[in-house]
Amino acid sequence: MSNDNNEKNLPDWCYYRGDDGVDKNITLPDAPPWRDKSRVDEKNAYRPLNDKEIKMVNASLILRRPLLITGKPGSGKSSLAEAVRKELGLGEKVLTWRVTTQSKFTDGLYAYDALSRLQDIQFKEEDDAGNLISKEIKNYLNLEALGIAFASKKQRVVLIDEIDKSQIDLPNNLLHLFEENEFDIPELKRLGKEFIPFDDSENYETIENGLVKCNIETFPLIIMTSNGERDFPPAFMRRCLHLDMQLPNAIELAEIVNRHFETVNKKVNQENLTKIITLFLEERDREENKTYLSTDQLLNSVYLMHEKEIEIDGKDDDIKDGILRNLLG
Q: How many CB atoms lie within 10 A of CB 263?
A: 17
What residue spans of the chain are helical by DSSP H?
A: 3-9, 40-43, 51-63, 77-88, 114-121, 145-151, 170-180, 234-238, 250-262, 270-284, 295-308, 317-323
**How far apart (Å, rounded) are the C-alpha atoms in residues 221 and 32?**
30
**How far apart (Å, rounded) are the C-alpha atoms in residues 247 and 256?**
12
Nearest to 215 by CA among 200, 205, 201, 203: 205
pLDDT at 289: 59
pLDDT at 319: 59
Beta-sheet pairing, 110-112 with 141-143: antiparallel
40-244: CATH class:
alpha beta
Q: Kindly report the pTM of this predicted structure.
A: 0.77
**How far apart (Å, rounded) are the C-alpha atoms in residues 12 and 10?**
7
State the amino acid at position 154 in one-letter form.
K
Angle at 324 between CA 319 and CA 327, to 5 degrees: 125
pLDDT at 306: 74
Report pLDDT digits (tens) over 221-259: 999 999 877 889 898 899 999 999 888 889 989 988 888
pLDDT at 299: 86
Low-confidence residues in the chain, pLDDT < 70: 1-8, 20-24, 37, 39-45, 74, 114, 116-138, 191-206, 287-292, 307-329
pLDDT at 109: 93
pLDDT at 318: 58
pLDDT at 327: 38
**DSSP labels, 199-237:** TTSS-EEEEETTEEE--GGG--EEEEEE-SSS---HHHH
State the amino acid at position 111 in one-letter form.
A
Residue 91 near residue 153, CB atoms below 8 Å:
no
